[in-house]
Amino acid sequence: MKKVKILTGVFMAMVLNSFAQTTTPTPQWRPVYHFSPPTNWTNDPNGLIFLNGEFQLYYQHNPFENKWGHMSWGHATSKDLVHWHNLPLAIPEKVTKDTIVSIFSGCAVLDKNNSSGFGIHGKAPLVAIYTADMPKQHKESQFVAYSNDGGLTFKQYANNPVIDLDKSDFRDPNVFWYEPTKQWIMTVSMVNEHMVWIYGSKNLKEWTKLSDFGPAGFTANGWECPSMLPLVVDNNAAKIKWVLFVSSGGGHGPLIQYFVGDFDGTTFKNDNPGDKILTVDYGDAFYAAIAWRNAPGNRKIWLGWLQNGRSETFPWKGQMAIPRDLSFKTTADGIRLLQPPSTIISNRLPKVAGKYLLSEKDVQVDNKAISLTKSGSFKSNANWIDAEFKLNDSKNAGFNIVEKKDANGKVIKKVVVGYDAGKQELYIDCSGAEKENKPADNLVLSAPMKPVNGVVRIQVLLDKSSLEVIGNGGEKVISTMIYPDTDATGMSVFADGAATLRSLKIWEMSNTL
């Protein structure tokens, strides 16, 4: 849960600006296949759990205004991670004469064995563990609440807090059951110390510190939203490594770094040198991600918040990223994170998207741009592109999106998504459209990426105002927010030199609502 006071530089300016409000409706920027609340502010995802055949999403929410404040837990559910059913507020901010308790970020677990004693009638309770922020006391501590109606409503534990260090920046607990030692494990952030403390508990109410991790990696800003989970390596279920995620403010704004290692029930051991920084997303929007740990097929599915940046949206502000399947892959540089869009969505694209599909193979793109919207289709700015480029002698290849033309048909605005063969970089270039919405340093966002046998795979997920670019099946990801004009809906494929578009599929996603 991001608190304004720890932010610096460009990130501070962007977030402070995002607290302003407008009352002009902006339907042109409302995502259609990403989650956004019906009204008002949202940020971090919270309490992700797969329960009773549905993905439960709790999220940081201001139920009163379209800006940060009055932090409470909103609630929505989905069966397919595309269509969401909005539910009433799950855990509201508590205001009394003496204090305010804001419901900051946290998690939810199903207490199958009723270790907490919160369950009734022989049914397992759903237990939320979250940070209670008390601004009048300048204190953050960890609270517990529980539900016996499937997560619709929660009751506060009478003996809260369960962990209280009398600190002002101590937050974002993430809890899971560790079977080998038969106890609950919590990671929680010591923000200004750049540390993750690891706690253990038998009953979710009494916690003992087991170890700590850090400082390590990126430490220029405070650490938040830690989470730790086991991931399969190279699709081999017998080979497991643990990942520890930490969110922070980086050079472009939001930053999530990760550490690869082992966890023995007490201590996380990092496989890499302490100064090694491994970056999750190379954009300027993705933050505070946590996982559905118990998704079908034992998948670990990650969800993050996409920060708005400078432009205003109404009557909502904030949205979630596309859910991503998590695993590890062995590379020449070591074990690295793989995070493609979740197959729960991608395997169902023909059904989700409906009839609009463009499919091409072996198209030569030689020193030109080829329009992809001549037929009038794919002009909604809600598209899912999956392409493979054989680079040949091409220096640059990719897509022009959100193109705007003048009266003479000349393109006067566009965002470019592509691959620079000379630099070996995947990139998003917003300099032709977003100068009013982004600081200069964020107009071009790039990630190092090597071709595989001369081929690069680029997936472009454009959803009105969100743009996520996934390289080589999840090896690299760049996420950002853009705000195209209402008539900026053109799209083309291009190459600087001779390139072959080995395969191209584009789904029109505007019919998913």
What span, in angstroms and rounded, lies between the C-alpha atoms of 513 and 334? 41
Count of beta carbons in the 10 Å neighbourhood of residue 338: 22
Query: Residue 89 has which token pair?
Result: 């507020």
Query: Residue 417 has which token pair?
Result: 């998504």
What span, in angstroms and rounded, lies between the C-alpha atoms of 111 and 117? 9
Instruction: Give the start-end residues of each E strand in 138-272.
Output: 139-147, 155-156, 163-167, 170-178, 183-190, 195-201, 208-213, 224-233, 236-250, 253-263, 268-270
Which residue among 44, 111, 133, 284 is the active-site one?
44
Catalytic site includes residue 333: no
Question: Is-contact 142 157, C-beta < 8 A?
Answer: no
Query: Residue 36 has which token pair?
Result: 């956004």
Instruction: Give the start-end residues of each E strand in 52-124.
Output: 54-61, 72-78, 85-91, 94-95, 100-110
Per-position DSSP letters for 183-222, written without gaps between them = EEEEEEEETTTTEEEEEEESSSSS-EEEEEE-S-S--SS-
Left (φ > 0), alpha (ψ -120 to 50) or beta: where does 422 sit? Answer: alpha
Which amino acid would we find at residue 226?
Answer: P
| Whether the bond into 439 is cis, omega within 30 of 0 | no
Partners of 90 in the β-ladder: none
Count of beta carbons in the 10 Å neighbourhood of residue 136: 9
Q: Which of these, 415, 409, 461, lies nearest to 437 by C-alpha position? A: 415
- Tell me the Cα Rg of the chain: 23
Which amino acid would we find at residue 150?
Answer: G
For residue 345, what is the enclosing H or E element?
helix 343-346
Query: Residue 360 has which token pair?
Result: 């091409």
Catalytic residues: 44
